[in-house]
């Protein structure tokens, strides 16, 4: 129970972010994932529902492992929360699971790690399919150079050079657990896991890695950018289209349901697991 007479419910959520101005509810008339999901859940509860999420994604960014929670006095089965929400949601937002949580659970503040994947379609010709679900780069990219450069970022660092100017994080120091770069046919996947992320951090890292992969800068440029702690030293911010929040991790005490680490079109590549 979250409070006397209330239940705290956690949900697993996935969405295609292309139509939305990000996760966070904004001014009236601006389409966001949060407001869309709150409206659907409020119909199930027959009362207002207000959500808190693990990570606020930007406009155009997708999620297949978002975690949210809300408090309610309404009693519903977990199946009713999932199926009822999905009946009332548009095609590009889906609830995958629901679970009653203890009062001290918090989707954002109890998360111990977050994981993103950035998917690049690497070919001279732009793709007609999934063009808002992957980032197209027409230049031949050297994955080995990108993977070598990525290792400069693993560990605990000041990531100010990869931080957007409007970032509200209290500290630019974050611990990056892994950053893997792998090729799968025409697709290149950046798989990045950290304790937490700064605003635009993954997209700024992706921009530097693609510049290095194209041979426009040496591998060591990644180290120079990191140590500069100056955002403008790192070049352009990569597009949001290929970015997915794929996993949010919590301590074992919460025992949240586990699903595949997406996006779904990558689930056949076993070398991405881990």
**Which member of 4, 58, 158, 191 is catalytic?**
58
191 is catalytic: no
Of 247, 112, 116, the C-alpha closest to 192 is 116
**Structure tokens that stand for 211 in this block:** 């510049």
| Residue 116 labelled as part of a binding site | yes
**Which region, left, alpha or beta, applies to residue 117 given φ > 0 means left and ψ of -120 to 50 means alpha?**
beta
Q: 188 near 224, Cβ under 8 Å?
A: no
Q: Please give the full DSSP string across 92-123, using - where no structure is assigned.
A: TEEEEEEEEE-TT--TTTT--EEEEEEEEEES
Q: Which of 53, 52, 20 is nearest to 36 (CA)?
A: 20
Structure letter (DSSP) for residue 6? B
Binding-site residues sit at: 116
Binding-site residues for substrate sit at: 116
Residues marked active site are found at: 58
């Amino acid at each position: 129970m979250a409070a006397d007479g209330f239940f705290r419910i956690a949900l697993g959520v996935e969405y295609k972010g292309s139509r939305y101005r990000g996760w966070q509810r904004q001014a009236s008339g601006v389409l966001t994932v949060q407001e869309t999901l709150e409206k659907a859940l409020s119909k199930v509860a027959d009362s207002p529902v207000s959500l808190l999420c693990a990570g606020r994604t930007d406009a155009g960014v997708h999620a297949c492992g978002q975690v949210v929670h809300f408090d309610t006095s309404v009693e519903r089965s977990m199946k009713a929360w999932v199926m009822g929400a999905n009946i009332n949601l548009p095609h590009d937002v889906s609830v995958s699971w629901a679970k009653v949580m203890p009062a001290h659970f918090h989707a954002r503040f109890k998360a111990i790690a977050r994981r993103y994947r950035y998917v690049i379609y690497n070919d001279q010709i732009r793709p007609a399919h999934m063009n808002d679900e992957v980032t197209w780069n027409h230049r031949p990219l050297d994955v080995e150079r990108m993977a070598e450069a990525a290792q400069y970022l693993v560990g605990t660092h000041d990531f100010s050079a990869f931080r957007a100017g409007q970032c509200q994080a209290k500290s630019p120091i974050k611990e990056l657990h892994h950053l893997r770069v792998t090729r799968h046919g025409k697709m290149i996947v950046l798989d990045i896991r950290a304790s937490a992320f700064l605003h635009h951090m993954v997209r700024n890292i992706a921009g530097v890695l693609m510049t290095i992969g194209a041979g426009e800068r040496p591998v060591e440029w990644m180290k120079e950018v990191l140590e500069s702690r100056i955002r403008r030293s790192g070049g352009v911010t990569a597009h949001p289209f290929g970015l997915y929040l794929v996993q949010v991790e919590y301590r074992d005490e919460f025992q949240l349901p586990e699903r595949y680490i997406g996006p779904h079109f990558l689930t056949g590549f076993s070398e991405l697991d881990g």
